[in-house]
Amino acid sequence: MTRFEFISQFQHIRQPKIEPDFPLRKTGRPAAVLIPLVDYGDKLNVLLTERAHHLKHHPGQISFPGGAVDKTDKGYFDAALREADEEIGLPPQNVDIVGMLPRYRTISGYEIAPVVGFVNPNFTPVIDKNEVESAFEVPLNHLLNRKNHLIHTTHRGNQSFPIYFIPYKERMIWGATAAMLRNLSHHIHP
């Protein structure tokens, strides 16, 4: 999929299917992630991170660059760009924001805004080892193909909740990251 193909399918007025998230009892803590689409001209890859192994929460989990919205941020776009710069050294001027997917609520109490942006590949990631173990790319076509998505249902109280998984080579993308990619898949391929 090229940038032009992505844009022509991303910009529409229809309401795509949205995967269920965690039903928070109160408004979640605002957070933003960047879904960085690395634009190679003839194809798009998604740049993902592996969280540092020493972290207390979600060590080693695959994620997007992102985090809580700070008081100094002007909004979700600003927070996503700031976090990507802090975590992997992605300069904001290398990102062309396309838009945002519906917010996704997590069991940990966050309401995450997935910001989608094209990334100029002419940058070398600088990893903040306090937060990130590594950064790697996955072809967007692989992530959007729902034949590659696995769903496991878990139960909490009297409710059932899906947990999404997307295997890629030796890695397993799961949880909120996989759910947001699944929402992107519904958005592009309804």
Dihedrals φ, ψ of 170, to 5°? -90, 5
pLDDT band for position 13 (cuts 50, 70, 90) = low
Using alpha carbons, select from 68, 181, 78, 46 the residue that is nearest to residue 131. 68
157 versus 169: the higher-pLDDT residue is 169
Q: pLDDT value at position 95?
A: 98
- The answer to whether 141 and 45 are in contact (CB under 8 A) is no
Q: pLDDT value at position 43?
A: 97
The DSSP call for residue 113 is E
167 versus 158: the higher-pLDDT residue is 167
Over residues 82-95, the pLDDT tens digits come to 999 999 999 999 99
Those residues whose C-beta lies under 8 Å from the C-beta of residue 93, and which sit 6 or more positions away, are none
Ramachandran sector of residue 41 (left: φ over 0; alpha: ψ -120 to 50; beta: rest): left
**What CATH architecture is 3-141?**
Alpha-Beta Complex (3.90)
Q: What average pLDDT does the segment 29-55 reach?
A: 94
Q: What is the mean pLDDT of the chain?
A: 91
Q: Where do the domains of the chain lie?
A: 3-141
Q: pLDDT value at position 158?
A: 84
The one-letter code for the residue type at 73 is D
Given a cut of 90, whether residue 144 has pLDDT beyond it is: yes
Separation CA 85–CA 168 (nearest Å): 25
Separation CA 118–CA 4 (nearest Å): 11
Report DSSP letters for the chain, one per residue: --HHHHHHHHS-SS----------SSPPEEEEEEEEEEE-SS-EEEEEEEE-TT-SSSTT-EE-SEEEPPTT-SSHHHHHHHHHHHHH---GGGEEEEEEPPPEE-TTSEEEEEEEEEE-S-------TTTEEEEEEEEHHHHH-GGG-EEEEEEETTEEEEEEEEEETTEEEETHHHHHHHHHHHHH--
By percentage, how much of the chain surpasses pLDDT 70?
97
What pTM was estimated for this model as a whole? 0.91
Q: pLDDT value at position 190?
A: 75
Q: pLDDT value at position 161?
A: 82
Q: What average pLDDT does the segment 160-173 reach?
A: 93
